[in-house]
Amino acid sequence: MKIFLARTQGFCAGVARAIETVEQALATCGTPLYIFHEIVHNTAVVESFRSHGVTFVDDINLVPDGSRVIFSAHGVPPAVVARAAAKQLVTIDATCPLVTRVHQEAVKFSNKGMDVVLIGHKGHEEVTGTAGHVDPALLHIIQKKEDVEKLDIPAHKTIGFITQTTLSVDDTREIILKLRARFPRLTGPAKDNICYATQNRQDAIKELAEQCDLILICGSANSSNSNRLREKGEQLGIESHIIDNARELDLQLLEGRKNIGISSGASVPRHIVEDVIEKIRERFYPLEIMTFDNPEKDIHFPLPIL
């Protein structure tokens, strides 16, 4: 059996930055330390920090006044920042700089009084954070191309669009094409706001799909970018499964297969993938591991000031 490891997978620069931010905050300030939402959407990462005394909250009001709180990589709406200030919290912002850039575009459109179409998954923390930067009267969140027809905006208006950073590249392209067809004066980023990490990981699945007869995606069920990787594999006709850890891998799935592709979402620690490979190696021997040069290895984002 051969294992093909996706060329780009695992931690992106935004996730690495967020995790390092928490590690440094723990090292320099200790606990109590609160994090607003999961720092990144990965069970192993969250459980590890929890075991070091970090408290995760989904409501800023649950953080005791004057405490230290880190905002997750997904970003927060201004209302949360304001509430934190009112409670005199010491805040550390681990929002990915690429998400912050989308916030800035949202504010720019909103301040001009333009309707803003936000393409993304309603309820996802990143979308909630970005949406909060837009005047509610101007905000339209859409998720799929069928939603374009339902937009209650006159076709002649100049409207702005922004996107979640972890969407399907191909699906988003289709949605934007429909938006352009319906709103000739549409304005927005040159292509979309999908980040380099999402793009690279989806491209790497296309490579795996040409070589493999099964694809395993390491990632948590609530990880947007991990779910898009599994969907991409399926769209390309390759049976694909998402697993949170090696325990979730059903080895029966691998019986009779020759070439297994393995990738992992942008929030997944490397040890999860290594555990999965070890579990496969115990049953299937000999196992050949094919690796490829990672074009992202020199991308780093500076840490926020603690």
Which strands form 288-290's sheet, in the order they lie side by side? Answer: 240-243, 214-218, 259-264, 2-5, 288-290
The closest of 208, 230, 108 to 160, measured between CA atoms, is 108
Residue 14 touching ligand SF4 (CB under 6 A): yes
To ligand SF4, the closest distance from the beta carbon of 14 in angstroms equals 2
Tell me how far, at minimum, the Cβ of 288 lies from ligand SF4, in Å. Answer: 30
Helix (H) or strand (E) holding 92: strand 90-93
Query: Among 11-19, 61-69, 202-210, 226-234, which window interacts with ligand SF4 (CB under 6 A)?
Result: 11-19
Rounded to whole angstroms, how far apart are CA atoms 96 and 50? Answer: 21
By CB under 6 A, tell whether 198 contacts ligand SF4: yes
Nearer to ligand SF4, 9 or 91 (CB): 9
The least CB distance from residue 198 to ligand SF4, in Å, is: 6
| Alpha carbon distance 57, 69 (integer Å) | 10
CB of 237 to ligand SF4, least distance (A): 26
Stretch that binds ligand SF4, among 56-64, 81-89, 146-154, 192-200 (CB under 6 A): 192-200
The position carrying tokens 């800035």 is 104
Stretch that binds ligand SF4, among 58-66, 95-103, 105-113, 182-190 (CB under 6 A): 95-103
Name which position in 3, 5, 6, 12 contacts ligand SF4 (CB under 6 A): 12
Work out whether 15 is an interface residue with ligand SF4 (CB under 6 A): yes
List the one residue from 84, 98, 214, 276 that touches ligand SF4 (CB under 6 A).
98
Task: State CA 61 to chain mean position distance.
Answer: 25
Is residue 232 within 8 Å of 261, Cβ to Cβ? no
Nearest to 232, CA basis, from 274, 172, 289: 172
- Binding to ligand SF4 (CB under 6 A) within 138-177 occurs at 165-166
Stretch 258-297 residues interacting with ligand SF4 (CB under 6 A): 266
Catalytic member of 38, 105, 125, 126:
126
Site membership for ligand SF4, residue 21 (CB under 6 A): no
Q: By C-beta, is 7 or 114 nearer to ligand SF4?
A: 7
Residues 6 or more apart whose CB falls under 8 angstroms from that of 32 comprise 53, 55, 64, 67, 68
Query: How many Å apart are CA 227 and CA 234, to the nearest integer?
Result: 11
* Site membership for ligand SF4, residue 225 (CB under 6 A): yes
Shortest spacing between CB 154 and ligand SF4, in angstroms: 32
Q: Which residue is at the shortest CB distance from ligand SF4?
A: 14
Range 42-81, binding ligand SF4 (CB under 6 A):
73
Given candidates 25, 35, 89, 197, which one binds ligand SF4 under the rule CB under 6 A? 197
CB of 46 closer than 8 Å to CB of 52: no
Structure tokens at 4: 């093909």
Kindly determine how many residues on this chain lie close enough to bind ligand SF4 according to the rule CB under 6 A. 15
Whether 105 is a known active-site residue: answer no
Mutual angle of helices 169-182 and 196-211, in 10-degree steps: 120
Instruction: For residue 295, say if its preceding peptide bond is cis, omega within 30 degrees of 0.
Output: no
Residue 233's identity, in one-letter code, is G
Which one-letter amino acid corresponds to residue 205?
A: I
Decide: residue 149, CB within 10 A, 0-12 exposed, 13-18 middle, 19+ buried. Answer: exposed
| Residue 13 touches ligand SF4, criterion: CB under 6 A | yes
User: Which residues are marked as active site?
Assistant: 126
Residues forming contacts to ligand SF4 in the complex (CB under 6 A) are 12-15, 73, 96, 98-99, 165-166, 195, 197-198, 225, 266
